[in-house]
Each structure stands twice: as C-alpha cells, then as structure tokens.
C-alpha cells in the first residue's frame, strides 16, 4: 500500500441554511477551487466632505466587503467512468449549473404563494425569503453572504447539446451585523470572521521607523 505525502486539498463552496432554525439545507462544494479570489472592502466611515471634523476618524460600522471568483465545472472526470455517473452521461453538467442558478431565484412554490396572495386581495406581500448563504473557504473563513452577480459561460457540449464544460463567475457581498444583527446566526458568524482577522493581524511582524527612513513622528 502506497501512502501519499501530499496534503489533502480542501474544497471551497457554499452552504445554505434555514434562516431561523439554522438547519443545513444544501452544501455546494466547487469541483475545482478557483485560482484567484478577488476581495474588496469599502470603508464604512462616518466622515465626509461636509461632515463635522469630529467625525473624520470614526466608523459607522464594518466595511462592506465583496468577493468575486471564477470556478470551472468539467464533466470529464465523471464521463471517464460512465457506469458510475449516469446523471452526467444523460445531462452533462446541467444539474450542477442548475443548483448554482437556483441561488438567484425564489422557488416555484414561493412564486405561486405570492401569486395566490395577490389573487386573494392581500394588500401587503412580504418579500420572499432566501436561505442564509455561507461562503466557506477553509474553516477559518466562513462568512454569511448574498449573491450579487452570477454568469455562466458554457464552453463545450455533448452530442445532445448538454453542457459538459463551463466557467462560472460569482459575485458575493458579505453580510455583516449591520445587515443581520448580533442575535442572528449569520451575525454571529460574521463576528467570528472579523475576530479571526484581528487575531491574524496580531501575528504580523511590526514595522519600524528606520525601515521608512525616519526617526519617529512628532
């Protein structure tokens, strides 16, 4: 028996949980981890051009963080063993794409319920609630997110025109305690995410005035 010394590569993905019970509804692991992850942070500062000077160095809340990534989905691995992957043989990667697309829509049942409420004369219809979505990139980076943009480029097809190779682009916005509140499961996860960053920042080596070519400030 041969033992590999290579570490097991973890899979990134999304987890959908019930917004109230926190019960896991679906786990979506990416087939291949993206080669690049783009994150941007928009500072949520109190100060502005016309703001009082006392507000110049104050935060209103956590920064607004967005995440963008591209993931490949390829049927080649499954088609190599057709007897074990009949769904892929019959539908290509359409089921995997459909799961991701479902993140952008309310369910048919929700749409029909809204239509029934409207037909019965309900004056105020609440917006349809989606599951709480978590972006998982290792155990140290689990954050509540909202899907903001999604695109699919289908690059190859089987003889029945089922897609067998595609590139998926996903845009996410991190949901903070400003969005969810402190008592919400997602708010709790965000605070843990923020705290882990503070702990990592504490491990970074401190700089020095000499490296900047100055003796000090003042």
Q: What is the pLDDT of residue 2?
A: 47
d(CA 62, CA 25): 28
For the chain, the maximum distance between any two Cα atoms, rounded to a whole number of angstroms, is 75
d(CA 96, CA 100): 7
d(CA 174, CA 145): 4
d(CA 17, CA 131): 6
pLDDT under 70: residue ranges of the chain: 1-7, 48-53, 80, 83-84
CA distances from 19 to 35, 109, 151 (A): 31, 17, 25
Tally of CB atoms within 10 A around 167: 14
Contact present, 26 and 15 (Cβ < 8 Å): yes
d(CA 141, CA 127): 29
Q: What is the pLDDT of residue 105?
A: 92
Q: Who's near 66: CB < 8 A, 6+ residues apart?
A: 39, 40, 42, 148, 171, 172, 173, 174
Q: What is the pLDDT of residue 83?
A: 65
Q: What is the pLDDT of residue 1?
A: 45
């Amino acid at each position: 028996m041969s033992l590999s010394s290579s570490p097991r590569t973890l899979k990134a993905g999304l987890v959908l949980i019930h917004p109230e019970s926190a019960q896991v509804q679906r786990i979506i692991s990416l087939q291949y981890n993206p080669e690049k992850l783009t994150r941007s942070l928009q500072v949520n500062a109190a100060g502005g051009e016309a703001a009082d000077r006392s507000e110049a160095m104050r935060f209103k809340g956590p920064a607004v963080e967005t995440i963008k990534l591209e993931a490949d989905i390829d049927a080649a691995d499954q088609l190599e063993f057709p007897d074990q992957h009949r769904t892929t043989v019959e539908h290509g990667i359409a089921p995997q794409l459909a799961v991701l697309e479902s993140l952008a829509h309310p369910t048919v049942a929700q749409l029909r319920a809204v239509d029934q409420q409207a037909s019965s004369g309900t004056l105020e219809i609440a917006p349809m609630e989606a599951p709480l979505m978590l972006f998982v990139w290792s155990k140290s980076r689990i954050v509540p997110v909202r899907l903001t943009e999604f695109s699919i480029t289908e690059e190859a097809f089987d003889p029945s025109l089922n897609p067998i190779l595609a590139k998926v682009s996903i845009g996410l916005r991190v949901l903070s305690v400003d969005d969810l509140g402190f008592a919400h499961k997602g708010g709790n996860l965000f605070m843990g995410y923020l705290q882990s960053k503070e702990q990592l920042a504490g491990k970074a080596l401190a700089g020095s005035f000499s490296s900047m070519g100055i003796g000090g400030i003042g």
